[in-house]
Amino acid sequence: MIQNLTHELAVLAKAVQHKNLSAASVHVGISQPQLSRLIAKLESELNVLLLDRSARRKSGWTPLAHELALAYTKGIGRLTNEILAVAKDIESTELRIGTLEGLSQIASQFAQQCFEKLEVKTVYLDILDFKDLDSQFLSGDLDLLFTVRSPSKQKFTHQLEVGYQQMEKVSTDPNILVCSPSEISGVEKKQGGKNQRFLISNSLSIRSNWLHKVGGTGSLPIDAQKGRGKGYYSVYLFGQEMINPKLWKKISDLFE
């Protein structure tokens, strides 16, 4: 049973570090409803009570939740040390990389260097939106992550500032606002009007084609560049905590 709940227990171990479900959801990279369902699954499978739902507004953690999280953390800590002891001299020949579509050029250049300089045999390079990018990285499905923001508020051991990016503002039709799902809330509040129309797409190519060929108002990222540029958005590379230290050192050297 426990073997099938490792993901849920890992999330619980991070979540109990924050005082309630609402605060925890911000830091673990999944929505509050998703976190609530995950905790409910643990409670059902283990026949325990992890959330004190008697609070009027925000559910707090029970003492048992903290005990369970601590037990998992201690166990996974021992396992991690054992794995690292065995794997410290074994470098991965396969990497799973996630990137925003606007960072695909710098991610592709890095993938090429993985073959040429890191002796990696297989690279999976997936383009994802913010939500999927963050959740897949935090759940351990991605080894590396190219992004313009931290996937959560927790501190990461493996983090590099690897480039910069500028945004291009396009305004060919003020009545059609073109934006990504992550932009829509702020756009609606600031610019939404009675005659306003919205095109919302997680595809950068669709938004770009629409803005330049059909017409609309929105912002598009310009191809990211290596190095640092004043006044631009920073581009970051995050690596999993379990990534081989020697491999991470080689990756860091590529961006010096």
CB 6 within 8 A of CB 71: no
Could you identify the residue written with the tokens 């963050």?
134
pLDDT digits (tens, 9 = 90+) for 185-231: 665 555 556 668 999 998 999 999 999 999 999 999 887 777 776 66
CA 192 to chain centre: 29
Q: Tell me which amino acid residue 5 is.
A: L
Q: For 103, which DSSP code?
A: G
Q: Which residues contact 19 (CB under 8 A, 6 or more apart)?
A: 60, 61
pLDDT digits (tens, 9 = 90+) for 142-181: 999 999 999 887 788 899 999 888 888 999 998 899 998 8
Give me the residues paired with residue 161 across strands: 236
Q: Tell me which amino acid residue 92 is.
A: S
Centre a 10 Å sphere on the Cβ of residue 239 and count the other Cβ atoms it contains: 22
Domains of the chain and CATH, by start: 2-87 (1.10.10.10), 94-166+226-254 (3.40.190.10), 167-221 (no CATH)
CB 22 within 8 A of CB 32: yes
The reported pTM is 0.65
pLDDT digits (tens, 9 = 90+) for 23-80: 888 777 778 888 888 999 988 888 889 988 776 556 789 988 888 888 877 776 565 5
* Exposure class string for 98-115: b at 16+ Cβ within 10 A, else e: bbbbbbbebbeebbeebe
For the four alpha carbons of 77, 94, 157 and 50, in that order, the dihedral sign comes to negative
